[in-house]
Amino acid sequence: MATDPTTRHRAIERVLRSGEEQQRQHLDDLLVIEEPMELRIDYAIAGKRASRSLAITMRTPGDDEDLARGFLLTEGIINSEADLLSLKRCTDGQGEESPNIWRATLAEGCNFDPGKLQRNFYSTSSCGVCGKASLDALHHQGVMPVADGPAIDAELLLQLPEQLCAAQATFDRTGGLHACALFNARGELLDLAEDVGRHNALDKLLGRALRRGQLPLGDRILLLSGRASFELIQKSLVAGIGLVAAVGAPSSLAVDLSDTYAQTLVGFLRDARFNIYTHPRRLT
């Protein structure tokens, strides 16, 4: 049987109180694996090739290639699959692949600005920039207001969290992962990704869409298992998603961002209710 790269077992003690007595049980628990992944980048500058470490993120192993691809897309390093010559695991001095280090080689014509390496990426830091600077950065990245997609039945949204929960295989066994999913206008689940990091889960999802040539995703619904933060909305806008729904609350900057880019944002999608924060025209 193949080893699951996303989980590992751990012997634990469970403490239970019944009345005045305390009991202890020895159990086997299943933990979500969290490991660092480094992404290195090889690019052309002034007619020469250069190489730098781009980012390190704590992630759940699995779908690493799509995680790297999605990160490059949503951070504005690449705009299309054509910008990426190769994406491979790095090797050590003995020629063995390193499981946690990946190298992205950009095409000669990729318009990559090495100055981007000097700032904190949105996915790894939610502080250090003001709201206006964040919006300006998206504008300079070339992100445009999302196009109108198909009208969505508001009642249909209420069915999506249950589908997401039913499809979260690793969360069901561990309770320790975030998830995001893509649905079509009929409420059919198209794809799902899980990770210990919310931004990683979305990068995995969007990296697969990029690899499959499915972008932009203007006719899709994105469902987030937790809250809607600025970095998640930023990533969804790069993919052209018109409707984002979150089980949890949106932040103020997430609402501002969705509003500015004509995106419909729904929050607190649970318990047979939800709030529409921006552009309700997509929901009938």
Task: Report the C-alpha gap between 186 and 247 in whole angstroms.
Answer: 19
Q: Which of 18-27, 68-77, 111-120, 129-138 has the lowest mean pLDDT?
A: 129-138
Task: Report the C-alpha gap between 252 and 240 in whole angstroms.
Answer: 21
How many Cβ atoms are within 10 Å of 179's Cβ, its own excluded?
Answer: 23
Looking at residue 126, its pLDDT comes to: 40
Residue 242 phi/psi, 5-degree rounding, is -90, -25
User: How do strand 243-246 and strand 221-224 relate by DSSP bridges?
Assistant: parallel
Task: Report the C-alpha gap between 184 and 179 in whole angstroms.
Answer: 17
Distance of CA 41 to the CA centre of its chain: 20
Report the Cα–Cα distance between both ends of the chain, in Å, rounded.
48
Looking at residue 20, its pLDDT comes to: 82
How many Cβ atoms are within 10 Å of 100's Cβ, its own excluded?
Answer: 14
pLDDT digits (tens, 9 = 90+) for 200-231: 999 999 999 999 999 999 999 999 999 999 99
Catalytic member of 90, 127, 130, 180: 127
Active site residue 127: yes
Residue 272 marked in a binding site: yes
**Mean pLDDT, residues 171-198:** 86
Residue 20 phi/psi, 5-degree rounding, is -95, -5
For residue 183, what are the β-bridge partners?
A: 189, 221
Which one-letter DSSP state was computed for residue 197?
A: S
Looking at residue 1, its pLDDT comes to: 43
Amino acid at 90: C
Statement: residue 174 has pLDDT above 60 = no
pLDDT digits (tens, 9 = 90+) for 227-281: 999 999 999 999 999 999 999 999 999 999 999 999 999 999 999 999 999 999 9
Statement: residue 125 has pLDDT above 50 = no
Domains belonging to the chain, first-starting first, are 154-282 (3.40.140.10)
Spatial contact of 26 and 164, defined as CB atoms under 8 Å apart: no
In the β-sheet with 178-183, what is the strand arrangement from edge to edge? 189-195, 178-183, 221-224, 243-246, 264-270, 273-278
pLDDT band at 170 (very low <50, low <70, confident <90, very high): low
| Helix, strand, coil tally for the chain in percent (to 5) | 30, 35, 35
Residue 269 marked in a binding site: yes
pLDDT digits (tens, 9 = 90+) for 4-49: 778 889 998 989 988 888 889 999 888 888 999 999 999 988 888 8
For residue 56, what are the β-bridge partners?
A: 38
Amino acid at 142: G
Question: What tokens were used for 209?
Answer: 């869409």
Q: What percent of the chain shows pLDDT beyond 70? A: 86
Statement: residue 185 has pLDDT above 60 = yes
Which one-letter DSSP state was computed for residue 78?
A: -
Statement: residue 64 has pLDDT above 60 = yes
Residue 24 marked in a binding site: no
Spatial contact of 246 and 184, defined as CB atoms under 8 Å apart: no
pLDDT band at 116 (very low <50, low <70, confident <90, very high): low
Looking at residue 93, its pLDDT comes to: 64
Looking at residue 123, its pLDDT comes to: 45
The region, left, alpha or beta by phi > 0 then psi within -120 to 50, assigned to residue 248 is: beta
Residue 271 marked in a binding site: yes
